Chains A and B, each alone.
Chain A
């Protein structure tokens, strides 16, 4: 039975709301300590001094001026100042661990970033950086003038080829369907603006990365409806759960516009297999909603199972493709988050058109684009990088998980990403969120490790914690295990 799906679209409502911050500023100060010869006596991070410095710079003005002009409720943050996120951040910033300079400091394990293969990037940039940016012969005409605000076509071509390599399959990406943005975060927000209106909702499997819901919700006013994944399913997504959540949302009067799934997932690191992806497509078609496949960690899949991209599924689909959209995180793949480059890949022409125009608010700097074009076109470098990076991630994951296992802590079997998802429920005093946060606090203050509690990830089962391992060495991992041991010793 052939089905024709014509194009159209009308709804209403706009707006924006709150958000909790995503990017810890502590890392900057942490790195300053790590890589410069400094002792514990470092400058406190700016967010501590922030208000007082601002105040000083306007000394005659009282802190709360009279008749202050209105500021929208958007100025309020979702994430409370006393959330684990901020509290952990501040503790790390005040006393960041360093193998030699500050071995008793707080170890940051709540930041999902990958530095394991940064040396390869560094080497490449030092050998090729200038020519990459300025071209040969050196000229600035490639980086200075106005350029299409949705990205250079050359970069889109390079990204298309790169993603094929990452997937290790000859998947064809049409560069005209690509929109380049200042990071995967803006890509997700732009897609949200295109696919849903204020007050609508997206189904999102949990646990999810802390701050993710803020990215979706803050300025768009689009709600997240969590689809809980359970330990009994090893935190794999179940279509039954999706169906149930969809129906519950409908009963509540919430208009669901789509599903956003992160594959590999964060924090559990699960891959969606081919069958599930096909089921998801069927589900989306049946309910007539969108799918956003957030594949920003695609290149970080190190497990034994194959990573299947939504793009691969779509190659075999010749109709009803308008509802599928993929997000890639270039700076993520290359473990250089500072480059801030992401991409939207949509099978819907209207979405490509709208997103291309919206990308003007989240553009990638031309020098950065030039650098990426060069780097991504260096096929032998890309090949080596992908291989080495996966191996290193795998090794570090295995080491970390083994270390935890020795302490009696089991982890979900992860196949990608920079974190492991650990079951520490045996250590919590009461089997609820309060107990979990109490353990988190002990881990921070007794073990001096900053990890992410499951409640910050919307996990419905208490006692799960996310450990980000991809910025450390094996030596550091030993230290982490020793520190966790302190909790056991303290419990006895």
Chain B
């Protein structure tokens, strides 16, 4: 019988052991509860309804119809030449037809108010990769990006984990409907300086996630002036640009730049994806559109780590070049989202819950602060827990989005049928009634 000796175990990197992936936060904890007991109309009607996933299923049928009517799109082109080209294609420039189709689609989404050059389109496997890639290029470990709160919880992971870059919040609150102000921008910049972080840029999401609102033109102008003054970058994540209920209400930073004749444009970069607007998150398609030549070249090379398969590019090139399909899709999708939004707002209102007046996205920003026992983060999490386990709804607490005011929640409405949404609204109504009755009887 031998001696049992403890050997030093083989070590992993800091990245591997870090908690920066954030998957232990409530945002993801709710998902676990859903996975364990998912709602199903027929087989599990009392299960947890997933309202924490910003996925667009309202226009699924349009996609299905297209793909079923165009099967050749999925076989890599007709005949030998098309096949060989696509099968062997692994160039990080991306299929030209796809880049062109992407640029055209982005123009359509912006009502044709601005032009995009396919040569500036860099392809990545999803916007997640695009945001991380840009962070790698624009900043060094230890530097900072300024991000308005509340923001998408995934940013904590995507912008910080492997890059070693910090996020410094630009605080926004309900007093002015969560708009970004020049004072808040300056304040964030000073906060970063006080922490000895070199600020490399501002990253905005427009339309905003989780707020579900577009950033007004005047505010965009102010942000652009701010980044120019500080000589830093601006990343505009516009992945919900096609999900604005009315096209005229969205101003892309691209339009502002065009208006300024592209002066100082080389500090601006747009992130886009087909996951939300086209409801194709499984396809993993993201882009970086940069006005900076060096960033385009570098991003292109770096995209080697996150390429989109040529099969997918080919399929989407066909789909996005089909003008009839895209125009119909964009219009129909907007309309359906708007109707869905109105339905949830009405439903919540009848339960006595108000939301921030939104005009875009797959979610609404709901104010449940009157229902908090205590107006604190703990109070919010307590309410969130009750909603998750008693009401069986997975919604996202504002604290996981770094909201400075407790009591706000992001509620997704596009990833379910209308019937399911009705059920969810009923559950909320009963819950609120119960709380109100309890409070009154005390």
Q: A323-B10, A358-B162 are in contact. Are A340 and B129 (CB under 8 A)?
A: no
Q: A31-B88, A69-B232, A134-B68 are in contact. Are A58 and B291 (CB under 8 A)?
A: yes
CB distance from A162 to the nearest CB of B (A): 17
* A361→B128 contact, CB < 8 A: yes
* B80→A70 contact, CB < 8 A: no
* A134→B308 contact, CB < 8 A: no
Q: A182-B306, A339-B309 are in contact. Are A288 and B281 (CB under 8 A)?
A: no
A194 to B15, CA, bound (A): 6
Among A53, A185, A219, max chain B CB count under 10 A is at A219
Chain A, 147-165, CB within 8 A of any chain B CB: 147
Residue B433, interface by CB 8 Å: no
Residue A170, interface by CB 8 Å: no
User: 0/1 per residue, A95-135, Cβ < 8 Å to B?
Assistant: 00000000000000000010100100110011001100110
* A61→B309 contact, CB < 8 A: no
User: 0/1 per residue, B212-252, Cβ < 8 Å to A?
Assistant: 00000000000000010001110000000000000000000
Residue B426, interface by CB 8 Å: no
Residue B325, interface by CB 8 Å: no
CB distance from A426 to the nearest CB of B (A): 34
A1 CB contact (under 8 Å) in B3, B91, B120? B3
CB distance from A215 to the nearest CB of B (A): 8
B263 CB contact (under 8 Å) in A46, A60, A185, A368? A60
Number of B residues near A (Cβ < 8 Å) is 105
CB distance from B425 to the nearest CB of A (A): 23
A338 CB contact (under 8 Å) in B89, B267, B291? B89
In the bound complex, residues from chain B placing their C-beta under 8 Å from that of A358 are 15, 161-162
B125 CB contact (under 8 Å) in A5, A53, A140, A363? A363
* B141→A69 contact, CB < 8 A: no
In the bound complex, residues from chain B placing their C-beta under 8 Å from that of A121 are 87
Residue A27, interface by CB 8 Å: yes
* A140→B63 contact, CB < 8 A: yes
* A4→B64 contact, CB < 8 A: no
Q: A16-B136, A60-B263 are in contact. Are A322 and B120 (CB under 8 A)?
A: no
Residue A19, interface by CB 8 Å: yes
* A140→B23 contact, CB < 8 A: no
Residue B285, interface by CB 8 Å: yes
Residue A35, interface by CB 8 Å: yes
Residue B14, interface by CB 8 Å: yes
In the bound complex, residues from chain A placing their C-beta under 8 Å from that of B55 are 145-146
Residue A490, interface by CB 8 Å: no
Residue A351, interface by CB 8 Å: yes
A72 CB contact (under 8 Å) in B2, B137, B265? B137
CB distance from B423 to the nearest CB of A (A): 20
Residue B4, interface by CB 8 Å: yes
Residue A54, interface by CB 8 Å: yes
* A125→B76 contact, CB < 8 A: yes
* A8→B13 contact, CB < 8 A: no
Q: A1-B2, A25-B93, A121-B87 are in contact. Are A185 and B128 (CB under 8 A)?
A: no
* A53→B265 contact, CB < 8 A: no
In the bound complex, residues from chain A placing their C-beta under 8 Å from that of B315 are 367
User: 0/1 per residue, A334-374, Cβ < 8 Å to B?
Assistant: 00111111000000101100100110111111111001000
A340 to B304, CA, bound (A): 10
Chain A, 1-32, CB within 8 A of any chain B CB: 1-16, 19, 21-25, 27-28, 31-32
Residue B375, interface by CB 8 Å: no
* A365→B87 contact, CB < 8 A: no
A7 to B3, CA, bound (A): 19
In the bound complex, residues from chain B placing their C-beta under 8 Å from that of A183 are 90, 307
Which A residue sits closest to B17, measured CB to CB? A9
Residue A289, interface by CB 8 Å: yes
CB distance from A126 to the nearest CB of B (A): 6
A27 to B83, CA, bound (A): 14
Residue B385, interface by CB 8 Å: no
A25 to B303, CA, bound (A): 13
Which B residue sits closest to A130, measured CB to CB? B71
In the bound complex, residues from chain A placing their C-beta under 8 Å from that of B89 are 27-28, 31, 337-338
Residue A57, interface by CB 8 Å: yes
* B305→A61 contact, CB < 8 A: no
CB distance from A421 to the nearest CB of B (A): 23
* B16→A368 contact, CB < 8 A: no
Which A residue sits closest to B86, measured CB to CB? A338
* A23→B302 contact, CB < 8 A: no
Residue B138, interface by CB 8 Å: yes
Chain B, 345-376, CB within 8 A of any chain A CB: none
Which of B181-189, B293-301, B333-341 sits within the interface? B293-301
Which B residue sits closest to A143, measured CB to CB? B282
Residue B194, interface by CB 8 Å: no
In the bound complex, residues from chain B placing their C-beta under 8 Å from that of A5 are 6-7, 9-10
* B16→A194 contact, CB < 8 A: yes
* A10→B119 contact, CB < 8 A: no
A290 to B232, CA, bound (A): 40
In the bound complex, residues from chain B placing their C-beta under 8 Å from that of A3 are 4-5, 7
Residue A195, interface by CB 8 Å: yes
Q: A8-B11, A145-B282, A195-B16 are in contact. Are A122 and B74 (CB under 8 A)?
A: no
A196 to B8, CA, bound (A): 16
* B16→A354 contact, CB < 8 A: yes
* B120→A8 contact, CB < 8 A: no
CB distance from A350 to the nearest CB of B (A): 6
Residue B126, interface by CB 8 Å: yes
User: 0/1 per residue, B113-139, Cβ < 8 Å to A?
Assistant: 000010110000110110010001111
Which B residue sits closest to A189, measured CB to CB? B305
Q: A337-B90, A367-B315 are in contact. Are A129 and B75 (CB under 8 A)?
A: yes
Among A118, A144, A351, max chain B CB count under 10 A is at A144
Task: Give 16 new A-B contacts, CB below 8 A, not counting A16-B136, A35-B80.
Answer: A28-B89, A51-B293, A58-B291, A69-B200, A77-B301, A125-B76, A126-B75, A130-B71, A140-B64, A193-B13, A193-B16, A339-B87, A341-B309, A360-B129, A366-B283, A367-B312
Interface CB pairs A-B, < 8 A, 22 = A14-B14, A14-B15, A16-B136, A23-B91, A27-B90, A61-B291, A72-B137, A73-B140, A125-B83, A130-B75, A133-B74, A134-B67, A134-B74, A144-B280, A189-B305, A195-B12, A195-B13, A338-B88, A338-B89, A341-B309, A354-B17, A368-B311
A-binding residues in B (CB < 8 A): 2-17, 21, 23, 53, 55, 57, 60, 63-64, 67-68, 71-72, 74-76, 80-81, 83-93, 96, 117, 119-120, 125-126, 128-129, 132, 136-141, 157-158, 161-164, 200-201, 227, 231-233, 261-267, 279-285, 291-298, 301-302, 304-312, 315
